[in-house]
Amino acid sequence: MGAVLLKKKRKKKLCFSISYMLNLRIFFSLIGGKDRRSGLILTIPLCLEQTNMDELSVTLDYLLSIPSEKCKARGFTVIVDGRKSQWNVVKTVVLMLQNVVPAEVSLVCVVKPDEFWDKKVTHFCFWKEKDRLGFEVFEKFTKESTSLLDELALINNGSDKGNQQEKERSVDLNFLPSVDPETVLQTGHELLSELQQRRFNGSDGGVSWSPMDDELLAQPQVMKLLDSLREQYTRYQEVCRQRSKRTQLEEIQQKVMQVVNWLEGPGSEQLRAQWGIGDSIRASQALQQKHEEIESQHSEWFAVYVELNQQIAALLNAGDEEDLVELKSLQQQLSDVCYRQASQLEFRQNLLQAALEFHGVAQDLSQQLDGLLGMLCVDVAPADGASIQQTLKLLEEKLKSVDVGLQGLREKGQGLLDQISNQASWAYGKDVTIENKENVDHIQGVMEDMQLRKQRCEDMVDVRRLKMLQMVQLFKCEEDAAQAVEWLSELLDALLKTHTRLGDDAQETKVLLEKHRKFVDVAQSTYDYGRQLLQATVVLCQSLRCTSRSSGDTLPRLNRVWKQFTIASEERVHRLEMAIAFHSNAEKILQDCPEEPEAINDEEQFDEVEAVGKSLLDRLTVPVVYPDGTEQYFGSPSDMASTAEHIRDRMKLVSLKRQQLRHPEMMTTES
């Protein structure tokens, strides 16, 4: 409780003193700026009035109580503005700084007009006592430089001798000394410059000034320390560079081994586990997707490989001779493993792509075979020969397409088998015979199955083709049989309408009879042809297990027409034969010589001629009667009248000849 009261009293007294100083217009300025040592800058503006040391000390104590201990440890840079003050006041302030805070002030700058410095040279003689400001700077530099030299020597010697403990210690310290060598060297150079300047500066009155013994001894000591620091610092920089390079090399080697170990370990195991090619398009696509995932994992390590390769190339371009062999060895090892693994990935990808194409061709061929089989399994009933020809053409096209598909499947399968046979080259010593045998058996099984299915379809196509050809033949037979009926009908029609003449004499009638017999032979051939076609139709229908479209009416029509033709032909033959007998007897009578008496007394010939003529005339008027009761006349009525007229004329000549033979005198009178 008493300490608290004492502290409050001191604070109250300090506040009173500060208030008093402010009334006296004594101002110090702690503006917050920093020098290059990160120390705070303290500005003291002086006025014309004489300043009391106690008042300055109180004000300085207050200002120095504001910053933290860490800020105070960096030191202060004091700027004394003496442009409006006398030189004695400036000296008083500097002396006060020397006595009050010598350890916390790093640099004191006095601001005076240029003409002031032209008139006098000032020296504050801070070296006369050991507790003065300059000596403490020297002592601080000596302590820091000596400690720094020990640390640098320990680091450098440890690196040269290869002492493992020192190396470990240097590694623990990250190769950094306790103080910054650059800062210590800069401090030493500034101290040496100050010492050299003091050595050649004079007193206030311009009289030559002699430095003290401490100052004379300090300068060579500072120079020696600086030389040693520069030497050790240069060695330290080289050690850091070498160790940094070694660390970088070790890091690269570690990363290289990580890449190599993964590629030769888990990466290779992933590839060795993926040996199948799938048994369908979907299975091959699933394997491709899995392979893409494996490639994605490899891509990450390949990216590391590219980065490492670039780093190694940069080190090779700027590396030492002793590191070239090791770097090249690492680069070669990394490249060999990565290229081998990339080749394996590419091989696997090509194998899966070939398998996918093989299964795609197999699926297309299977669909073609299913379509062809479905077409063959459906019974067809074409309407005509054109439909049959179109169906046969479609079958041939489908069979040809199947042949092309099977040939493509064989090519794809053989290419896939060739790739599988090369798989053992990257198996890393693993026996892949069993896995390859499964793949080979699957490929060969697919090709053999497609070959058997194609062969079955070919057999069915042959059967269907034979059936179609038989159907074509059946339709042709039916059409030709119908055509034979038409031809026979035309022959019958021609016989009745055009074969009406009986000839003018016996010779002509015989010619007509011969022509008629040939005409009958043509009709007989037509009838026989139609019968054969109908018999073939029956056989084909039995083979095809179907019924003929015209088997119910073609044969009756053919038989009916042939019966009609036979009746008409026989009637025609009878008429021609009667005409031949008539003309022969008539011509014999008309051509006999009157000197032959036997001819005159042969009345029977005249009677026969007359009887045959009358019978022939009567036959010309009788129609042809068919079995169904229908009647048909030969030729038109005019044709019949013309033929009958000719016969009557011949009969008149025969009658006239008979009368001449009976009454010759009458023939003479008439003559």
What pLDDT, in 10s, does the model give residues 645-670?
888 888 888 788 877 777 765 554 44
- Residue 179's SS3 state is coil
Q: DSSP labels for 467-496? A: HHHHHHHHHHHHHHHHHHHHHHHHHHHHHH
Confidence (pLDDT) at 664: 64
- Assigned CATH class of 265-470: mainly alpha
Would you say 439 and 422 are in contact if contact means Cβ atoms under 8 Å apart? no
The Cα-based distances of 603 to 567, 596, 614, 623, 627 in angstroms read 35, 14, 17, 33, 41
Domain ranges of the chain: 23-111, 265-470, 499-662
Query: What is the b/e burial string over 369-394, where b = at least 16 CB atoms within 10 angstroms of the residue's CB?
Result: beebeebbeeeeebeebeebeebbee
The confidence band for 12, taking pLDDT boundaries of 50, 70 and 90, is low
Confidence (pLDDT) at 506: 84
Q: DSSP labels for 99-127? A: HH-TTTEEEEEEE--HHHHHH------TT
Give the H or E element holding residue 32. strand 29-34
Rounded mean pLDDT of 249-267? 84
Give, to the nearest 10 degrees, the angle between helix 133-161 and helix 164-172. 130
Residue 203 CB coordination number (10 Å): 14
Would you say 354 and 415 are in contact if contact means Cβ atoms under 8 Å apart? yes
CATH of domain 23-111: 3.30.750
Is 265-470's fold the same as 499-662's? yes
Q: Identity (one letter) of the amino acid at 569?
A: S
Q: Is the pLDDT of residue 452 over 90?
A: yes
Would you say 229 and 185 are in contact if contact means Cβ atoms under 8 Å apart? yes
- Residue 31's SS3 state is strand
> What is the value of pTM for the model shown?
0.52
Give just the sign of the alpha carbon dihedral 295, 298, 300, 305.
negative
Would you say 317 and 388 are in contact if contact means Cβ atoms under 8 Å apart? no
**CA-CA-CA-CA torsion for 113, 119, 121, 122, nearest 10 degrees?**
-60
What pLDDT, in 10s, does the model give residues 535-575?
888 888 777 777 666 556 788 888 888 998 998 889 888 88
Confidence (pLDDT) at 123: 44
The confidence band for 449, taking pLDDT boundaries of 50, 70 and 90, is very high
Q: Is the pLDDT of residue 10 over 80?
A: no
Whole-number Å distance between alpha carbons of 307 and 297: 16
What pLDDT, in 10s, does the model give residues 400-422?
898 999 999 999 999 988 888 87
Whole-number Å distance between alpha carbons of 128 and 589: 202
Q: DSSP labels for 189-249? A: HHHHHHHHHHHH---TTS------HHHHHHHHHHHHHHHHHHHHHHHHHHHHHHHHHHHHH
Q: Tell me which DSSP letter residue 277 carries.
A: -
What pLDDT, in 10s, does the model give residues 17-75?
555 555 555 555 555 677 766 778 878 877 766 566 667 777 777 777 778 777 777 77
State the pairing for strand pair 40-45/29-34.
antiparallel
- Residue 602's SS3 state is coil
Confidence (pLDDT) at 208: 40
Residues above pLDDT 70, as percent of the chain: 75
Among 22-26, 174-178, 431-435, 497-501, which range has the highest average pLDDT? 497-501
Question: What's the full length of the chain, in residues?
Answer: 671
Give just the sign of the alpha carbon dihedral 422, 426, 432, 435.
negative
Would you say 485 and 557 are in contact if contact means Cβ atoms under 8 Å apart? yes
Strands across the sheet containing 105-111 = 29-34, 40-45, 76-81, 105-111
Tokens representing 85 are 């003050």
Q: Which residue has the higher pLDDT, 319 or 171?
A: 319
Confidence (pLDDT) at 534: 84
Rounded mean pLDDT of 465-482? 83
Rounded mean pLDDT of 454-472? 85
Whole-number Å distance between alpha carbons of 347 and 355: 12
- Assigned CATH class of 499-662: mainly alpha
Q: What is the largest CA-CA distance in the chain?
A: 221
Least confident of 125-129, 236-240, 404-408: 125-129
- Nearest residue to 572 (alpha-carbon basis) of 501, 638, 507: 501
Confidence (pLDDT) at 404: 92
Would you say 591 and 557 are in contact if contact means Cβ atoms under 8 Å apart? no
Tokens representing 284 are 């091959």
Confidence (pLDDT) at 231: 86
Confidence (pLDDT) at 127: 38
What pLDDT, in 10s, does the model give residues 110-120?
776 656 555 54
